[in-house]
Amino acid sequence: MQTKSRTYLMVGFVVVVGVIFLTWKVLESLLPAPPQKIIATVGIQHGINELFAKQYQAILARSGITLEIHASDGTGENLKRLSDKQLNYQIGFATDRAVEGPLVKGVLSMGQVSYLPYWIFYRSPKVWADIDSLKGKKIAIGAQATGRHQLARSLHLGEDTPAAEQLLSGEAATKALREGRLDAILISGTLNLPVIQDLLRDPSIRVLNFPRAEALTKIFPQLRHLILPAGIVDFEKNIPPQDVHIIATSSSVLIQEDLHPQIIYLLAQALEEVHGGFGPFNDVGAFPTQYDVGYPMSSAAREYYKNGPSFLNRYLPFWMSNYMIRFLATLATVMALVLPLIKTMKKMYSWFIRQYTDRLFQRLRVLHIELNKTTSPADLQKIEADLNHIDRAAHILPMRHTDLYFSLIARIESERNSLQKIELRSSPIK
């Protein structure tokens, strides 16, 4: 009986361990560990998005995640890279200008992260009053895939510029402007971008004012009307000398829809750290936003912005939280599977004990009949041996606290008393 009990316990243990192992393996595929490296497509080299990405890179590195940064021609190429999973880009930047085209499948937004002003810098001894002053001028509007190129086309800028000069951007465009090969350049970037600061401080370069900026925001809803206050670049030198009305769009961080949730949480933390502060055109907490008019929002990102990190992410290191999630999921699954199994095994075990006890009672009934039929010493001796065997079998029962056990012991003692009485009656009187 003890051997069988140990066998049942061993079988139960093996079943539980097997269920845990299989559940862990299944959850390993359903809840994989976050990748150690992700790739971002950021736009033109040395642009503001690359600067942002490098800040994300440093923050993610604190949790052991490597962010690889790749330059591109702009929003258009970023969207193409993100939509093609074989290229393995997980993060990218896009401007609101892209909303005029069809939505890209499989791409979600982490929210808008900053205003992206459009700056028109020009060389002229006279102040150009408005955007109409650009007609007939040679102006660089950047690569075709960029948002500023699309905006310039909508405003009919650069139509008289040869293609070679029209597509210039970055340092090449700035150099051509200073050398006089261009009359103006259209660039995008935040105020703290080094090239923007350099051009604003250059006395030979002017920044174009948009007095009708508000009208442009009504014609093109993706645009914003911003004001660059006088003296904000250099208060002592009063740069710029007067308020400048400019137009801007919003920059969004996009991700592939199947990006690991833990990476999304880390990235959301990085966005808040980089963009959550005060800026020349926004108050504290304005970015990142919980909405995006151009792309569907990531529910995980929105949840983080609303409620902060989860309980596990708040108190556990990044590398441990994913394993803890998998452990809790495994525990819940095992409990859901094993508890009913334990109840079933318990019923089966009780049924086995009852069957075993019933057989002992059956043997006692047979002995009782035999005991009432004989007084032969040999038969009585055999009955006593069988009774002792039943007694030993009863005492190895594991359920000794039950009424069934006590009933069996009482029946054995009753038969033993009957046997002793018969033995006394059949003994010769001396």
Tens digit of each residue's pLDDT (9 = 90 or more) over 205-250: 999 999 999 999 999 888 999 999 999 999 999 999 999 999 999 9
User: Do residues 364 and 297 share a domain?
Assistant: no
- Tokens 């750290």 label which residue? 273
Exposure string over 114-128, b if 16+ CB within 10 A, otherwise e: bbbbbbbbbbeeeeb
Tens digit of each residue's pLDDT (9 = 90 or more) over 66-125: 999 999 988 889 999 999 989 999 999 998 754 455 567 889 999 999 999 999 999 999
User: Do residues 141 and 210 share a domain?
Assistant: yes
Angle at 328 between CA 326 and CA 333, to 5 degrees: 95
* Highest mean pLDDT pick, 53-57, 352-356, 392-396: 53-57
Confidence band of 30 (pLDDT split at 50, 70, 90): low
Look at residues 309, 324, 354 and tell me which one is the last residue of a structural domain.
Answer: 309
User: Do residues 286 and 353 share a domain?
Assistant: no
E strand or H helix at 256: strand 244-256
Contacts of 354 (CB under 8 A, 6+ apart): 404
Q: How many Cβ atoms are within 10 Å of 28's Cβ, its own excluded?
A: 12
Confidence band of 390 (pLDDT split at 50, 70, 90): confident
- Tokens 């093109």 label which residue? 220
User: Do residues 349 and 279 share a domain?
Assistant: no
Q: What is the pLDDT of residue 98?
A: 41
- Residue 8 within any structural domain of the chain: no
- Residue 320 within any structural domain of the chain: no
CA distance linking residue 110 with residue 113, whole number of Å = 8
The distance in angstroms from the start CA to the end CA of the chain is 45
User: Do residues 238 and 383 share a domain?
Assistant: no
User: Do residues 369 and 227 share a domain?
Assistant: no
- Tokens 């400048």 label which residue? 244
CATH number of the structural domain spanning residue 189: 3.40.190.290
User: Do residues 353 and 302 share a domain?
Assistant: no
- Residue 30 within any structural domain of the chain: no
Residue spans of beta strands (DSSP E) within 366-425: none
- Residue 221 within any structural domain of the chain: yes
- Residue 124 within any structural domain of the chain: yes
User: Do residues 86 and 205 share a domain?
Assistant: yes
Q: Which structural domain, as residue segments, surrounds residue 386?
A: 338-426
Tens digit of each residue's pLDDT (9 = 90 or more) over 187-211: 988 898 889 999 999 999 999 999 9
User: Do residues 168 and 50 share a domain?
Assistant: yes
Q: What is the pLDDT of residue 358?
A: 84
User: Do residues 266 and 392 share a domain?
Assistant: no
What average pLDDT does the chain have?
84
Q: What Cα–Cα distance (Å) separates residue 196 from each residue in 24, 117, 349, 370, 384?
A: 53, 10, 80, 112, 109
Share of the chain above pLDDT 70, in %: 83
**Is the distance from CB of 287 to CB of 275 less than 8 angstroms?**
yes
User: Do residues 297 and 196 share a domain?
Assistant: yes
Task: List, in sequence order, every residue forming a beta bridge with 308; answer none if it has no partner.
Answer: none
User: Do residues 89 and 175 share a domain?
Assistant: yes
CA distance linking residue 181 with residue 189, whole number of Å = 22
Check: pTM over 0.85? Answer yes or no: no
Closest listed residue to residue 172, CA positions, set 278, 46, 21: 46
**Total domains present in the chain:** 2
Closest listed residue to residue 123, CA positions, set 142, 110, 137: 137
**Is the distance from CB of 252 to CB of 98 less than 8 angstroms?**
no
Per-residue pLDDT at 260 exceeds 80: yes
Residue spans of beta strands (DSSP E) within 12-151: 37-41, 66-70, 91-95, 107-122, 139-140
